[in-house]
Structure 1
Amino acid sequence: MTKFGELIESPVPTLIDFYSQLNDESDSTHSILRDVAAALGDKARVVKIDVEKNEALANALRIKGNPTFIIYKNGEMKWRQTGLQDANTLISLVEQYT
């Protein structure tokens, strides 16, 4: 979790997608996040975290559904939503914190 702490402490907004390979939507989420990352460039970071491989972190954050998106900035959670989101929505949300 130390690396996670370093990740979310950034002054640059960080959009994290907590996903599971077992979820059918994971492929479509991947292409959406690729579009989000391309649109935001270096104004934000986009990170995917597999809940199966990071079970302790997922439990600590009470991740119950996939995908779950969370935006952090300066170590503070700014926004959280479970369920598929479109690229434009995610871009607009992250841009609020740039």
Structure 2
Amino acid sequence: MNPDFDALIQSEIPIVVDFRKTDCEPCSLLDPVLEQVKHTLEKRIEVVRVDADANPELAHQYRISYFPSLLLFQEGRLLWRQTGLMGKDEIIARILEHIS
């Protein structure tokens, strides 16, 4: 358990967690997409990146084995998860399906 992460995902503001690896090219390709998502949704979400190499226990806890993996949390609940590259519009649509 990671107390900082656990406190973070308790937020009322939805948190998109990007589990990634440093040497993962698709992870790097997702960076500008997530910036566009964050900019489009403004203050409705937060985006947090987690380096799975530096946080292996956390990656294991959430059964992350493919990268990048996106998880959406709100008030401690896992609302959605997706593995692999996605476009901005698809990510936004999935987030909006799960938040009010």
- Do both share a fold (TM > 0.5)? yes
The match for 1:69 is 70
CA distance in 2, matches of 1:91, 1:11: 18
Q: Where do 1:6-21 residues align within 5 Å? A: 6-21=7-22
Q: What is the TM-score of this pair, normalised by structure 2?
A: 0.92
- 1:16-31 maps to which residues of 2 (within 5 A)? 16-31=17-32
State how far apart, in whole Å, the 2-side matches of 1:19 and 1:46 are.
Answer: 13
Partner of 2:41: 40
Letter of the aligned partner of 1:54 in structure 2?
N
Structure 1 runs of 4+ aligned residues shifted over 2 Å read: none
Q: Give 1:25 shift.
A: 1.2
CA RMSD of aligned residues (A): 1.0
Per-residue CA deviation, residues 33-78 of structure 1 (Å, 9 max, x unaligned), is 1101101111111111110111110011110000011000110000
Equivalent pairs counted in the alignment come to 98
Shift of 1:91: 1.2
- Structure 2 match to 1:89: 90
Gaps of 5+ in 1: none
Structure 1 residue 95, shift from structure 2 partner? 2.2
Identity across aligned pairs (percent)?
Answer: 28
> CA offsets per residue over residues 11-47 of structure 1, 9 Å max, x none?
1111111011111112211111110110111111111
TM-score by length of 1: 0.94
Question: Which secondary structure state, in structure 1, belongs to the residue aligned with residue 50 of structure 2?
Answer: strand
